[in-house]
Amino acid sequence: MTQSPTTSGNVPSTGTIQLAPSYALPIALVGIAIPLVWVQPWVAGIVAVFGLFLLFQTVTLRLLFTETALDVFRGETLIRRFPYQDWQNWQIFWSKVPILFYFKEVKSIHFLPILFDPKMLRSCLEQRCPRA
C-alpha cells in the first residue's frame, strides 16, 4: 500500500492502494464441502472445486485503487481497468459477512466475489467513488 496522507481512517487520500487478499470465502466454501460429502457427494465436489477456483483467484488477482480507476491485475499484468467516471452505483452485499461486490458502469454491470479485505474495499469505494 502506498503511504500517503489520510483523510478518514487508514485510507490514503492520494496515491494507489492495493487491497490485501482475503481467503475467508474460498476457505469457507472448501470447509462447507467437507461435511457435504456425506450428504451429496457430487454437490460437495462442485462446491469444493468452486472454492479452490476462488482460492486460485485470491492468490493471483490484485485490486488497485488508483486516482482515476479500479485496476485489476493478474501478477504484473493489467487485465482490466474500470474508470470511476463510468461508475453509476456500487454495493457490497451482506455487510455482516461480505461475500459479493456489485458495481454498475454506464454500459455494463459486474459482480465480484469478495476476495479482498472487505473493510478496506468499502473505505476505498466510499472515498474514491462515493454514492450519490
Whichever domain contains 40, its CATH number is 2.30.29
Task: Confirm whether 66 is domain-assigned.
Answer: yes
pLDDT digits (tens, 9 = 90+) for 60-83: 999 999 999 999 999 999 999 999
Name the nearest CA neighbour of 122 among 34, 73, 96.
Answer: 96
Total domain count, the chain: 1
Task: Confirm whether 128 is domain-assigned.
Answer: no
User: pLDDT value at position 13?
Assistant: 56
Domain range for 94: 6-123
**Residue 43: what residue type?**
V
Q: Which residues of the chain have pLDDT under 50?
A: 1-9
Task: Confirm whether 87 is domain-assigned.
Answer: yes
User: pLDDT value at position 132?
Assistant: 62
Task: Confirm whether 40 is domain-assigned.
Answer: yes
Name the nearest CA neighbour of 20 among 53, 77, 59, 51.
Answer: 59
Task: Confirm whether 129 is domain-assigned.
Answer: no
Query: Which residues are CB-contacts of 104 (< 8 A; sequence separation ≥ 6)?
Result: 87, 88, 89, 90, 110
The CA-based angle 17-19-24, given to 5 degrees, is 170
User: pLDDT value at position 7?
Assistant: 37
Note the Cα 16 to chain centre separation in Å: 16
> Looking up cell 459482480, which residue turns up?
111
User: pLDDT value at position 6?
Assistant: 37
In order of 12, 22, 72, the CA distances from 121 in angstroms are 13, 11, 13
